Structure 1
Amino acid sequence: MANIVEGVFAIHKPPGITSAQVIRDVQSHFNPSSLFAPWLQREHDIKNAESNNQRNKRKSWKSKQPIQVKIGHGGTLDPLATGVLILGVGSGTKALPQFLTCTKSYETVVLFGAATDTYDTEGKLVARKEYEHVTKEKVEEALVKFRGEFMQRPPIFSAIRVQGKHLYEYAREGKEVPVEIQERKMNVEKMELAEWLEGGSHEFAWPEQEAEGAVKNMAEKVLHLKDETEVKSEAAEVVGEAEESAKRKREVDEGESGVTAESSPKRIKSSPAPESGTTAIKVEVTESSPKRIKSSPAPVSDAPAIKAKPTETSSNACPAPAARIRMTVSSGFYVRSLAHDLGAAVGSLGLMAHLVRTRQGEFELGKNVLEYSDLAEGEKVWDPKVKKMLQDWQGEHEVVEGSRDRGGGRHERSAAKPAARAAVRRNSSSDEG
């Protein structure tokens, strides 16, 4: 039988597609190739050699599916993200759990002044906040707290399960998580500011769509957008409105002056002078007589309520500053949470506008990673590259003969440790974990 190649390699995932779509695309090129014809033939032979009892045990729908090259990934990347995506082929899928527990390097861009329900530019806006005071020096000072060991709260849009349900399912339904999302200990080997981007000088922008109703209310609570001072301020406003309403009622009950509605002057209720940075007074004219103008109290300057967009520059660029940050982090680290927490650390809001995974384990961009564009160039281009990477993997990692997975492949002696399998469950569908 011809030489069978299987193992682990890495591909450079482009933006705009899911990690699952990358696997489907790779399979569509691998299935008809001459490189993987021996692997597919072996699988056909194993299937044909099965006893009737084995065939009956297999689910009917699965038995009708055509055999494809078996591929899995070692830690997904969100559609927004690009970079190193580890792929296991055949027996190499058994080695994938170890890549969920290794260190990873990222380059991200944090855009200040706004927050979304997903912590990135793919989500919907839930709040805006002042950003003029955010400087390069403030960001560098704030990054100190994110080095070494510290506690991080996962984003609401993550695959972590709470009471049998993914967190992102609660978020999409606009429901509050029944328990507090627990912080997790992270270890950061490297965290540095690589580039400072002044407002109006970069291509990154806040999303235009705003969250509505229950989703926005849920986000304000779960994402901890309000501090204790803001909550007390809002409570005071509610009490003030109730007292004002009671006062107006007493005036009506006690002041029977005989003035008709038509002859009474139009009354305008004014709210206290707003603090700097607040929105303008909202004016509403009622249809009935007398026409009365109501005004709602202006929120305090730090309130997370979405405010009118600041005047943009002539080039239509986002006026808020951004920071390009490089990091090397432990397993389970969420870069989106870093963006959110960094925004809060500098007295503003922050979201992730760009993400590249530059290294994962032994695979690094520009060194030993297949370019996604090579697939479109045809088998003559990607075949020798993939073959070399898989053969190098087979040569560097011990493979146990005679121990087969469900696809009939071989696997590494230590690839499927219980701790590694647990890591798969913890970090599945995590963009950065």
Structure 2
Amino acid sequence: LAIHKPPEKTSAQILRDVKPQFNKSDLFAPWFAAEQERHAQDPTWKKKYKRKGGFDIKIGHGGTLDPMATGVLIVGVGRGTKSLSNFLGCTKSYEATLLFGAATDTYDSTGKIVKRAPYAHLTRDTVEKALEQFRGKIMQRPPIFSALRVNGKRMYEYAREGKELPREIVERPVEVIELEVVEWMEGGTHDFKYPEEEADAETKKAAEALIGSGLDRADDGKDGEVKEKSSGQEEHQEKDSHAEGDPTDPTITTLPEDTTDPTIKTPLPEAGDSTSAAAQATPETPEQSAPPAVKLRMTVTSGFYVRSLCHNLAEAVGSLGMMSALVRSRQGDFELGKNVVEYEEFEKGEEVWGPQVRSMLTDWQEKCAAAQADEEG
């Protein structure tokens, strides 16, 4: 099934919210009874059951969404958790808002500002033209605050500890199937704002050590040309295809996704020298004081970082930027407005969410049965 995740809640919190309702529901009561009967003769299971204080339903999700993000969160229950890894490799559709003029340590508006840049020269046409270089099969550099592994350690752990990566982050291939401008918003016509907090000098210094000077392209007048990395080194993703366990609840399964652990505040590099030509641009007039923003719609393959696109696109138009809003509108066959349960429905009781969840689970089981029949045929 799929749940419409609201903002300001983590993906794991959504599971913790719905799990108690599933535990006591009429919908899953037959499953509980069957599981208890199946394990009744197993003394080891009885001890585990008693130690945990009860029998909990197993639940997990098929790809993390940032706390600030909303949209499709795929949820597996019971044996359905074994199929969650299939959703990491499917295509996904997003709507993201990019706010120009400043970069943060997280590439989004939840972080601290590490650099500012001019934006008065930006227009919709400028952005439209720059999008051409981001369509199709491209190379993308993952952000430091990802769960990718370098020498067996997650990259965000290096950043959190203030340590340098043992080797440079290299670009990797991704595919952008569709990418378009949905709406151009002039400064003063929208409510998106920069975060209030600025990164301290130590954070900015650590940024350069961790990532280098990638933001220099915002000042070099070269339209953000992506520079090839010279080495063949590559980051390593989690090798295990099964779920990454929640340390607070062994029955909750979480799978790493494109934007894993976005709450980790990690540094970006500082932009180019403040004495550059772009930094010395004529100050904005009062009418230009508010930064513009653009809403983008995209369909991408697995492993794509939306926040990296926002960061790179802002560079490509001679500015800086941050992701200020994100909606995952589709993942695989689940799409907002079609077959996704609104999170608020779970607050209204099983009589409201029960029929919707039952229908989704039935559809999924029928698809699995049809797929198995095709394989056997």
**TM above 0.5, one fold?**
yes
Q: Which amino acid aligns with 2:36?
A: H
The 3 A distance-change label for structure 1 pair 298 and 159 is closer
What's the C-alpha RMSD, in Å, of the aligned pairs? 2.9
Residue 117 of structure 1, CA deviation: 1.0
Work out whether residues 112 and 131 of structure 1, in 8 Å CA contact, stay in contact via their aligned partners in 2.
yes
Counterparts of 1:20-419 in structure 2, within 5 Å, are 20-50=12-42, 52=43, 54-55=44-45, 63-221=51-209, 222=211, 224-227=214-217, 299-302=275-278, 319-398=290-369
The 3 A distance-change label for structure 1 pair 298 and 374 is closer
Q: Distance in 2 between matches of 1:170 and 1:302?
A: 32
Residue 339 of structure 1, CA deviation: 0.4
Q: Distance in 1 between matches of 2:322 and 2:302?
A: 21
Q: Secondary structure at the match of 1:133?
A: coil
Work out whether residues 118 and 279 of structure 2, in 8 Å CA contact, stay in contact via their aligned partners in 1.
no
Q: Distance in 2 between matches of 1:106 and 1:299?
A: 37
Q: CA deviation digits over 1:381-425, x for unaligned, max 9?
A: 00011001101111111399xxxxxxxxxxx899xxxxxxxxxxx
Q: Which residue of 2 aligns with 1:276?
A: none
Larger Rg: 1
Work out whether residues 15 and 59 of structure 2, in 8 Å CA contact, stay in contact via their aligned partners in 1.
yes
Residue 162 of structure 1, CA deviation: 1.2
Work out whether residues 206 and 318 of structure 1, in 8 Å CA contact, stay in contact via their aligned partners in 2.
no
Residue 112 of structure 1, CA deviation: 0.6
Q: Distance in 2 between matches of 1:375 and 1:19?
A: 15
Q: Secondary structure at the match of 1:398?
A: helix
Residue 43 of structure 1, CA deviation: 2.3
Q: CA deviation digits over 1:103-148, x for unaligned, max 9?
A: 0000000111100111000111110001111111110000001100
Work out whether residues 100 and 331 of structure 1, in 8 Å CA contact, stay in contact via their aligned partners in 2.
yes
The 3 A distance-change label for structure 1 pair 225 and 303 is farther
Work out whether residues 49 and 55 of structure 2, in 8 Å CA contact, stay in contact via their aligned partners in 1.
no
Residue 62 of structure 1, CA deviation: 8.5
Verify: 1:19 aligned to 2:49, yes or no.
Answer: no
The partner residue of 2:2 within 4, 7, 10 is 10
Q: Which amino acid aligns with 1:15?
A: P
Q: Distance in 1 between matches of 2:164 and 2:202?
A: 9
Identity across aligned pairs (percent)?
55
Q: Distance in 2 between matches of 1:196 and 1:329?
A: 21
Residue 42 of structure 1, CA deviation: 2.1
**Normalising by the residue count of structure 2, what TM-score does the alignment of the two structures yield?**
0.78
The 3 A distance-change label for structure 1 pair 102 and 340 is same
Q: Secondary structure at the match of 2:4?
A: strand
Q: Secondary structure at the match of 2:216?
A: coil
Work out whether residues 75 and 85 of structure 1, in 8 Å CA contact, stay in contact via their aligned partners in 2.
yes
Q: Distance in 2 between matches of 1:66 and 1:358?
A: 36
Work out whether residues 2 and 334 of structure 2, in 8 Å CA contact, stay in contact via their aligned partners in 1.
yes
Q: Which amino acid aligns with 1:100?
A: L
Q: Which amino acid aligns with 1:340?
A: H
Give the number of equivalent residue pairs. Answer: 319
Residue 69 of structure 1, CA deviation: 1.5
**Normalising by the residue count of structure 1, what TM-score does the alignment of the two structures yield?**
0.68
Q: Distance in 1 between matches of 2:365 and 2:289?
A: 49
Residue segments in structure 1 that go unaligned for 5+ positions in a row: 1-8, 231-296, 401-411, 415-433
Q: Which amino acid aligns with 1:129?
A: A
